Structure 1
Amino acid sequence: MIAARARFARLSRHYLYFTGCFGAFLLALAILEKQGMPRVWIGYLFMFATIVLYAAIGVFSRTSNVSEYYVAGRRVPALFNGMATAADWISAASFISLAGGLYLRGFDGLAYIMGWTGGYCLVALLIAPYLRKFAQYTIPDFLAARYAGGAGGRGTPVRLMAVGATIIVSFTYVVAQIYAVGLIASRFTGVDFSVGIFLGLASILVCSFLGGMRAITWTQVAQYIIILVAFLIPTMWLSAKHADNPLPHVAYGAVLPKLAAREAQLASDPKELAVRAIFTQRADAYAQRIKALPASWEAGRLDILRELDAVRRRAGSLIDIRATERRLAAYPKTADEAARLWADLQAANLARALPPEPHATPFPGPDREQSDSRRNNFLALVFCLMLGTAALPHILMRSYTTPSVRETRVSVFWTLFFILLVYLSIPALAVMVKYDIYTQLVGSEFSHLPNWVSYWASVDKQNPLIAIADINRDGIVQLAEIAIDGDVLVLATPEIGGLPYVISGLVAAGGLAAALSTADGLLLAISNALSHDVYYKVVDPAASTQKRVTISKLLLLAVAFSAAYVASQKPADILSLVGAAFSLAGSTLFPALVLGVFWKRANHIGALAGMVSGFAVCTYYMLHTHPILGGSAAGQWFHIAPISAGVFGVPAGMAVLVAVSLLTRAPDALSNSFIDHIRAPE
């Protein structure tokens, strides 16, 4: 007890000293900016300083001890484990995309906050204490022991199925984090997006490669401090700007009515109506082209060929020739491809033709049916995020790192506390940024657009993160003329609010910390599952501890570079990728975990059948309904969006697990004794 208190006091001193040094670093950069330091150097200093910091922690925490590498020696105090878990949890989706999602979706975006925070209550009540009582290394470890019934080999199929689920869920999730790393690095260093992705891997790999869970834990505590400071400073600044109150939770209520009044004004503004009418006409034109296929596709291709030939014959400029050639290269190669592309463009124009939805109105819709559909999707998403949270392997792994079951319960409390410090400010930030754009940017002249618009438009030239075009050619920015990606909103907040550039660098450092902290945990979950549960438990049970750790490190490298390659292809937006991961986790792992703790009749055949069924139903629904995966919205069940596929996968997995368990032989006494052990009071 005395040693634990001394350790806690020492850690507290170290991180208080770190916080003070970070504050001094911010102050120094603010002074240097005042003195005329170029912005690009401020961006470089933030990126370089934070990455060096994380690398230094990784080097000092390096280890080859199995217990330290997998579970940080089970010596992490509850408070610091809560901070590390919060950093692990506040991913790029939370820090970068969640406020953007609320900006774009209004009330519907609250489903993410409700689902993710509610999921931690399930973790605390249903799973975390029992995992800590089990006191092993991975989630497949727990499921294999629970469903093996003490008979050794019978746990192997369950273990391998759990490993497969861990890899698929974590890989999907980590791609989103690495995508965010590339976004931040490309904006604040000027490198190409794909190059930024691989540069960001350096910090991830130094921490997780050298020290495993030990290095990741102490890095994540430092990252949480940066995340908290980076998120609250611009939020409090905007609160003071728009409501004369630095407390965002109070300012939120004052700004929301002003935003509602501005939304109503823009909905009936004649210039806005004119721009939306142009988008409606464009959508109708695409509808006519789709209706006239394949003749319209052939005619469009011939028009570009004739234009290219005419430019060449009149010896046009090289710029004109290259522009026409690019148009020809981008033109659909077949009539079927044209049908898909034009349908997407028609839908995009129809969406921009709609008036702005009231931010605070729950489930708005033109009729009761559509309003009910949005409500059902909101509830389905909350359900999937809650159960997915309670089954995410990289989060549940942190239950193993505390000294005792009691410390695990306290750690979950601190995790919720530290998460809510950020999460309760996110809706306020979304409202204040929205009000700023609606009042400052909308109505301004195109000749005087703020610099941040061109900065962010140039980050990704193929898929611009923000685009503003003078659709009605009046020289004035209308709301309908602005297209903004939700992933850019928080990173651009300091520039939108007119804050010093040093705050932009701070926010970038916070976003980078959020992405890296989660990526570290996810990569470790994948490599540990492969090295411990596949290599050590199945392939080579006689492997030495040194060999096990080495194998884990090599696998971590392979997975990291694979995820970076996939992220460089920009498969989807961050929130969509994360939502898919949660549905898959809930459908595959949640029934087996919860019933494994609370229902003694669950057996290994039932667990296997439930995991396979949940995964199959969830995956089928995503493939069948998500356009990016080749599906169609016409295939949706009860109009539920593919991101909420877990609303079908979880009940399917649960029902099959129960039915198969009841139809097959009951678990033996060893399985029951295992349950009695993990459920016994400490």
Structure 2
Amino acid sequence: MSFSHRTGYVNPRLGTYFGIFMSAFAALAMMTLIFEGLGVSDDTLRLTMFAGPIGLYAAIGIASFTNEPLDYFASGRRVPAFYTGLVLAQTAIGATGLVALTGAFFLIGFDALCIVIGGLAGFVVMAVLLAPFFRKFGAFTVPSYLGKRFDSRALRLTAAGILAVPMLLVLAAELRIGAHAIAWFYPISQSLAVMMLVAVVVLTLAAGGMRSLAWSSSAQSIAALLALLVPVAIVAVIVTNLPLPQLSAGPVLRTVGRAEAAQGLPIILPPMLAFDMPGEGLSPIAKRYSDAFGSVGPLAFIIVTLSLLAGVASAPWLLPRVAGTPGVYEARKSLGWATLLFGIAMLTIGSVAIFMRDYLTDIVTVAGTVRFPQWFETLQTQGILAVNADGGRPTLSSFSVSRDDVLLSLPVVAEMPAAVVYLAAGGVVAAALATAGAVAIALGNILSEDIVNGLTWLPTKSTSRLIVARLALGAAAALAGFLAIVAPTDPLELLLWAIALTGASTFPVLVLSIWWKRLNEFGATAGILTGFCVTVLAIIAGEAGLTGTDGALAAAIGLPAGAVAAIAVALATPAPPRNLLELVRDIRVPGGEILYDREMRQLRRRKI
């Protein structure tokens, strides 16, 4: 059997274009610093750092307009590995992960590593078990892949309906975190901030779909990474004289650890299934930073890690992005970049938490009378930080800090210019827009391709197909915005539930669809439905206090239940036909023509 290797054309000027964007973004930040030094009003500074970058993102998205379905749904299959990996790293856990995890590290220390390890392992598993083969198949959405893989329209519709639920949860979480960051610019209501974000997402992505997303989210991810790295690097220089916070935070942690022991912070021995992540609002410093298994039990740590592994590896807003790379080699390479960049971001937020603890430690370990600095009063006035010493000398356990404000408070604590604070807040907004855009476009494509047009394999006319896709994008974003406004739930909790639902429902079926030929449409349908329903029931039971466990651990029951149901039903029903067995063999061969494109071309010829 002969194969012809086909790759998309990659624009050789992409590096130049994004170099220009980085220069413009840096110039905008420097101009804001200059304005602040000249005494320009704070309103002007806020407007510059808030509206300026958003205008750049929207311009990139609108300039990527297309009327070609392949460009709209797969960015023409010519996105280089680095840019794909950059966006995958940013959108895996999004702004929710950056903001809430920073606060979690600050409040409970190393116990939050379960989420970091799970995300990194998810990229590795995706690169080994799923991404190359999904790229070879080339489907635009996960339900489209499952429908064609098992030649079942019913499975396609079932998967589309089930996957829409966790995607809505992630989208709502990102909109809420983005709205929280906007509050650092303007004290507007959360509802108005959410509607603003929805409008920006639709305006940026409607013109070019995945093509607009590929380039606008690359710019947003660069902005988010710069906004994360710059403030903490400055703090690292101030504290350690070394501009590498990922390395210099270690000696600071040893100093903090000695102070924690002297302050009497407890060493906690939790139950095996304890999962006590800090929630929204003010939370006390619960334990010593480097003390493992204080808020998260050992078994819960393993369960959450595996849940994140399965959820990230099979996430329907991440996996289809590899279909936009020029080839299978680039798909694998993009996961390598994603792992590297995700690891750098997670090491950085851990450094932010350590430096914040160090600043608070300096207050309570000073000899003589404790005096609170000006930044403490500022954060206390804003409701971000509180102290309860009961009339005595305050200790570390006396402080309560808002989890979702730790990341943005570091420039304030280090007494940096207001422009740096707004730079950090703008980075969180950029991260929220990138992740919300990725989820919204994936959900819109599922609604248009797998639900509206899911009853037929024949491709519709390009004009009507793209109109439906753009309307579905707007509907998905608006629905998620409505959910974020009417059901205000902890964003980190929403993210963990969504990843648990995704991993339990789709991960076993996706892996088996590639590596076990005996799996048929009945087994795949049973696996998806069982994993989803069992996980939903486990989440409800956990949140209602019926099981005594957190809802984030629901995948511990749902994932094996889905796998067992898929295998048992497949073995109890007829084996798949020969053509589907040959399709699996073709999927496993990394080279050659993209199977989905070949199938669509043949269907168009039959239609003619």
The separation in 2 between residues aligned to 1:503 and 1:599, in whole angstroms, is: 53
2:74 pairs with one of 71, 74, 91: 71
**Is the CA contact (8 Å cut-off) linking 1:248 and 1:428 kept in structure 2?**
yes
For normalisation by structure 2, the TM-score amounts to 0.89
In structure 1, what is the equivalent of residue 429 of structure 2? Answer: 512
In structure 1, what is the equivalent of residue 600 of structure 2? Answer: none
In structure 1, what is the equivalent of residue 65 of structure 2? Answer: 62
1:543 deviation in Å? 3.5
Secondary structure of 1:394 counterpart: coil
The separation in 2 between residues aligned to 1:42 and 1:96, in whole angstroms, is: 23
Evaluate the alpha carbon distance shift between residue 478 and residue 566 of structure 1 in structure 2; reply closer, same or farther with a 3 A threshold. Answer: farther
1:189 deviation in Å? 1.8
The separation in 1 between residues aligned to 2:191 and 2:499, in whole angstroms, is: 26
The separation in 2 between residues aligned to 1:243 and 1:45, in whole angstroms, is: 32
The separation in 2 between residues aligned to 1:194 and 1:67, in whole angstroms, is: 35
Does the alignment pair 1:359 with 2:289?
A: yes
1:172 pairs with one of 154, 158, 169: 169
Instruction: For 1:622-637, list aligned pairs within 5 A.
Output: 622-626=539-543, 631-632=544-545, 634-636=546-548
1:36 pairs with one of 30, 36, 39: 39
1:482 pairs with one of 378, 384, 399: 399
1:99 pairs with one of 99, 102, 111: 102
1:554 deviation in Å? 1.3
Evaluate the alpha carbon distance shift between residue 441 and residue 227 of structure 1 in structure 2; reply closer, same or farther with a 3 A threshold. Answer: farther
AA matched with 1:13: T
- Choose 478-487 or 524-533, whichever is displaced more: 478-487
Secondary structure of 1:571 counterpart: coil
- Choose 208-217 or 5-14, whichever is displaced more: 5-14
Secondary structure of 2:150 counterpart: helix
Q: Percent identity?
A: 28
AA matched with 2:491: I
The separation in 2 between residues aligned to 1:65 and 1:594, in whole angstroms, is: 31
**Is the CA contact (8 Å cut-off) linking 2:363 and 2:371 kept in structure 1?**
no
AA matched with 1:468: A
Does the alignment pair 1:238 with 2:235?
A: yes
1:27 deviation in Å? 1.5
- Choose 442-451 or 85-94, whichever is displaced more: 442-451
In structure 2, what is the equivalent of residue 120 of structure 1? Answer: 123
Q: Deviations over 1:45-89 (max 9, x none)?
A: 111001111111121112222111111011112222222323333
The separation in 1 between residues aligned to 2:144 and 2:54, in whole angstroms, is: 33
1:533 deviation in Å? 0.9
AA matched with 1:184: A
The separation in 1 between residues aligned to 2:288 and 2:37, in whole angstroms, is: 40
AA matched with 2:530: S
1:138 deviation in Å? 0.9
- Unaligned 5+ segments in structure 1 are 149-154, 270-346, 366-372, 458-465
AA matched with 1:48: A
Secondary structure of 2:519 counterpart: coil
Does the alignment pair 1:186 with 2:197?
A: no
- Choose 38-47 or 211-220, whichever is displaced more: 38-47
Q: Deviations over 1:234-271 (max 9, x none)?
A: 111222222222211221210111111221222279xx
2:535 pairs with one of 618, 622, 627: 618
For normalisation by structure 1, the TM-score amounts to 0.79
In structure 2, what is the equivalent of residue 252 of structure 1? Answer: 249
In structure 1, what is the equivalent of residue 376 of structure 2? Answer: 450
1:386 pairs with one of 305, 309, 330: 309
In structure 2, what is the equivalent of residue 84 of structure 1? Answer: 87
- Choose 190-199 or 386-395, whichever is displaced more: 190-199
AA matched with 1:507: A
Does the alignment pair 1:675 with 2:578?
A: no
In structure 1, what is the equivalent of residue 417 of structure 2? Answer: 500
Larger Rg: 1
Instruction: For 1:588-603, list aligned pairs within 5 A.
Output: 588-603=505-520
Evaluate the alpha carbon distance shift between residue 61 and residue 185 of structure 1 in structure 2; reply closer, same or farther with a 3 A threshold. Answer: same
Secondary structure of 1:188 counterpart: coil
Evaluate the alpha carbon distance shift between residue 507 and residue 536 of structure 1 in structure 2; reply closer, same or farther with a 3 A threshold. Answer: same
Does the alignment pair 1:206 with 2:199?
A: no
Q: Deviations over 1:635-667 (max 9, x none)?
A: 13xxx4321211111111001111111111111
Evaluate the alpha carbon distance shift between residue 93 and residue 364 of structure 1 in structure 2; reply closer, same or farther with a 3 A threshold. Answer: same
In structure 1, what is the equivalent of residue 606 of structure 2? Answer: none
AA matched with 2:241: D
Does the alignment pair 1:439 with 2:362?
A: yes
The separation in 1 between residues aligned to 2:324 and 2:119, in whole angstroms, is: 22
1:422 deviation in Å? 1.4
Q: Deviations over 1:106-127 (max 9, x none)?
A: 1110111100011000110011
| Structure with greater proportional helix content | 1
The separation in 2 between residues aligned to 1:447 and 1:357, in whole angstroms, is: 24
Does the alignment pair 1:557 with 2:474?
A: yes
Does the alignment pair 1:468 with 2:386?
A: yes
**Is the CA contact (8 Å cut-off) linking 1:81 and 1:402 kept in structure 2?**
yes
Aligned length: 570
The separation in 2 between residues aligned to 1:146 and 1:470, in whole angstroms, is: 60
1:374 pairs with one of 297, 304, 309: 297
In structure 2, what is the equivalent of residue 337 of structure 1? Answer: none
AA matched with 1:662: L
1:426 deviation in Å? 2.0
- Choose 391-400 or 535-544, whichever is displaced more: 535-544
RMSD of aligned C-alpha atoms? 2.5
AA matched with 2:337: W
The separation in 2 between residues aligned to 1:508 and 1:602, in whole angstroms, is: 48
- Choose 108-117 or 198-207, whichever is displaced more: 198-207
**Is the CA contact (8 Å cut-off) linking 1:239 and 1:246 kept in structure 2?**
yes
- Unaligned 5+ segments in structure 2 are 1-5, 267-278, 592-608
Does the alignment pair 1:147 with 2:150?
A: yes
Q: Deviations over 1:593-618 (max 9, x none)?
A: 00000000111111111111111111
Q: Deviations over 1:125-160 (max 9, x none)?
A: 011111111122111111111122xxxxxx112111
In structure 1, what is the equivalent of residue 275 of structure 2? Answer: none
In structure 2, what is the equivalent of residue 197 of structure 1? Answer: 194
Secondary structure of 1:468 counterpart: strand
AA matched with 1:641: D
AA matched with 1:647: A
AA matched with 1:491: L
1:570 deviation in Å? 5.5
2:565 pairs with one of 646, 652, 656: 656
AA matched with 1:374: G
1:579 deviation in Å? 0.6
**Is the CA contact (8 Å cut-off) linking 1:166 and 1:525 kept in structure 2?**
no
Evaluate the alpha carbon distance shift between residue 551 and residue 651 of structure 1 in structure 2; reply closer, same or farther with a 3 A threshold. Answer: same
1:423 pairs with one of 320, 330, 346: 346
